Structure 1
Amino acid sequence: MPEVRYSPLRPLALASLVANVALVVTGAAVRLTGSGLGCPTWPRCTDQSYTTTAEMGVHGVIEFGNRMLTFVLGLLAVACVLAALLERTRRRSRVLLAVAVLLGIPMQGVVGGITVLTDLNPWVVGIHFLLSMVLIAFAYALWKRTAEGDARPEYLVPRPIRQLVWILSAASAAVIAMGVIVTGSGPHAGDEDAKRNGLDPATVSQAHADVVFLLIGLTIALVLALKAVKAPLPTVRAAVVLLVVELAQGLIGFVQYFTHLPVLLVGAHMLGAALVWTSTLAVKWSLRERPESAPSPTPLEPAPAPAEEPIPAPR
């Protein structure tokens, strides 16, 4: 494994990743407590105030607290960009990833504002959630790049297994997208007057479950393939962790469906979606190593010219 050199960017990138996952959880709390319109307008919380008021009660506090987390994400993203720019050996990929996360934060805020202005349109709410998944991917990539060098990637498994992981990643993204559609058809809209997407919950839930079974099957195949080619232990471990997270998420999904979607289980399921996605990213990154670039060979100094013999003086 390549040697991990300490950089202040690394803990900042990890904090950014954790905060983006936390935003998914707080967003779930907003929706599941019916606080989606706790602040009924945007960018202000009311027509006269940027902050919540006592008359708005607990719903206003929950919605306003979720908005404030966006500023925390923004500060962390700015800190990551500065740390990437100030590194002794500035790496272009780290700077670009940090900038991508930074640009995604205000975009996420704008989409969140549109959800409020459209009275929690379920399709806009879904885009808001999917954008969080994109930000998590960029933040995870930034965090992993802080532990890598600049040499070309060295892949640890054969090409067919890498192709299998690409298919698995697409299935993981499809599971999350289908979960968004299921959510848009269900009862937890964020406000009692918010519209639903009009799809039959039983039908879209069955389609979602089918894609989940596909994902679990692909993950089992990946674990067996990695063991067959004697892949490095960290790679096998990442695949096993993904399988465990998927099984736990699937169990929560089935229990919440047959118990009529209790709030706590739905919240756990949304956190599980972020963990499934993060675990999928972990599998992809475990397939390679990227060591430090080999130092350029130092040119040899020319050998000193031999001293000339003195010419004897004539007698």
Structure 2
Amino acid sequence: MRSNTVGAEPVNAIYQWLPSAIDARIRVVAWLSLVTEILIVGTGGAVRLTGSGLGCPTWPTCVAGSLVPTQEMGVHGVIEFGNRLMTGLIGIIAIAAVVLLWRLRKGRKDLFVLAVILGSGVLAQALVGGVTVLTGLNPFIVGFHFTASLIMVCIATVLVHRVYLAPGLRALVVPVGFAGLAHATSFVVALTVLMGVLTTASGPHSGDVAAGRTGFNAELLEHLHAWPGYATLVLTLVLVGASVRGKLPVRSFVVTLLVVELVQIVVGLLQANLGLPPLLVGLHMVLACVLAAAMTAVVLNLKAPVGQPAGLPEFAGNGTARN
């Protein structure tokens, strides 16, 4: 009995160390999750844009008999393996989130479920990445891989949002018409991004000289990608005007969305007129993730917990918001 008690002490100490309320550790891990989910799109873009898609030609090893790239694989192997390491980092952060939220898994089930989803998403993305390599960079699978990354960014954004809010019923803090327009804008944003994914899958940056393309007309797809992009800008301008005029609590998020869209449009026009330079294409991909996160933040902030102001409230030590 004594040995069992002694053995349990470290476990109890670890359990007591885990947060019993939302604290800085949980918030930091949530932000790290979001940032790394965006960064991996940048490293994945570097793999494609440098022609390193098959820098590690096998999976889960890099080359036959070696988990890491060999000297023969050169810089392409290093770039591809670096992207795989980024997946590992995101996995560690996801595990950390699950562990830190363990004591709160009942009281803040929403946060715990989001952390589990992000952790499961890492495994799913790793498998999709493996299929991508084993199919020789099939453009449709590559596009699905990128789309899944965008979804993960949105989920991580929800986690960041929720760690600043008390649990409970939520109610609209904006007029119904404004909320409807915001949701419509989010649909057009999603359409813009999806058309961008298809356009990229049909363009020149395949990730490897031997990789195939979709066979679709890339020039036509550029226009089909741009049109909903401009529609998004118009809708966002309306949202900005309405939120500023009405002094809505969501206005700072809407203005941020507008800024991201303007930067994205400028980068998109530059890359189209400069012959799709890899650096600008990669920046455009990363900005697509930032755009998805910004749009998600706007939608999330249309509501706030009942009795709690909208925005990012300060939390008391017991995990409930100070009113």
> Same fold, TM exceeding 0.5?
yes
Q: How far off its partner does 1:137 sit?
A: 1.2
Partner of 2:281: 266
Partner of 2:142: 125
Cα deviation, 1:89-143, whole Å, max 9, x if unaligned, reads 7311111111110110010001111111111111000000011111111111111
Q: Does 1:105 align with 2:122?
A: yes
How far apart are the structure 2 equivalents of 1:94 and 1:100?
10
Q: How far off its partner does 1:5 sit?
A: 5.7
How far apart are the structure 2 equivalents of 1:118 and 1:188?
17
Number of aligned residue pairs: give it. 288
Partner of 1:205: 222
How far apart are the structure 2 equivalents of 1:47 and 1:26?
23
Quick one: which of 279, 282, 291 aligns to 2:294? 279
Cα deviation, 1:169-189, whole Å, max 9, x if unaligned, reads 111111111011110111111
Is the contact between residue 151 and residue 292 of structure 1 (CA under 8 Å) also seen in structure 2?
A: no
Q: How far off its partner does 1:285 sit?
A: 2.1
Is the contact between residue 196 and residue 225 of structure 2 (CA under 8 Å) also seen in structure 1?
A: yes
Is the contact between residue 33 and residue 156 of structure 2 (CA under 8 Å) also seen in structure 1?
A: yes
Other structure's SS at 1:199 match: coil
Q: Pairwise CA RMSD of aligned residues? A: 1.6
Q: How far off its partner does 1:7 sit?
A: 4.4
Quick one: which of 69, 84, 92 aligns to 2:109? 92
Please give the residue correspondences for 1:143-158 in structure 2 after superposition, counting only pairs within 5 Å. Answer: 143-158=160-175
Q: Does 1:226 align with 2:252?
A: no
Please give the residue correspondences for 1:1-315 in structure 2 after superposition, counting only pairs within 5 Å. Answer: 6-87=23-104, 90-232=107-249, 235-290=250-305
Q: How far off its partner does 1:254 sit?
A: 0.9
Q: Which runs of 5+ in 1 are unaligned?
A: 294-315
Q: How far off its partner does 1:291 sit?
A: 5.8
How far apart are the structure 2 equivalents of 1:193 and 1:178?
24
| Matched-pair identity in % | 41
Q: How far off its partner does 1:88 sit?
A: 9.2
Q: How far off its partner does 1:240 sit?
A: 1.2
Larger radius of gyration: 1
Partner of 2:9: none
Q: How far off its partner does 1:193 sit?
A: 1.2
How far apart are the structure 2 equivalents of 1:278 and 1:166?
14
Is the contact between residue 105 and residue 112 of structure 2 (CA under 8 Å) also seen in structure 1?
A: no
How far apart are the structure 2 equivalents of 1:286 and 1:157?
9
Q: Which amino acid aligns with 1:280?
A: M
> TM-score normalized by structure 2?
0.86
> TM-score normalized by structure 1?
0.88
Q: Which runs of 5+ in 2 are unaligned?
A: 1-20, 309-323
Moved more, 105-114 or 276-285: 276-285
Q: How far off its partner does 1:230 sit?
A: 2.9
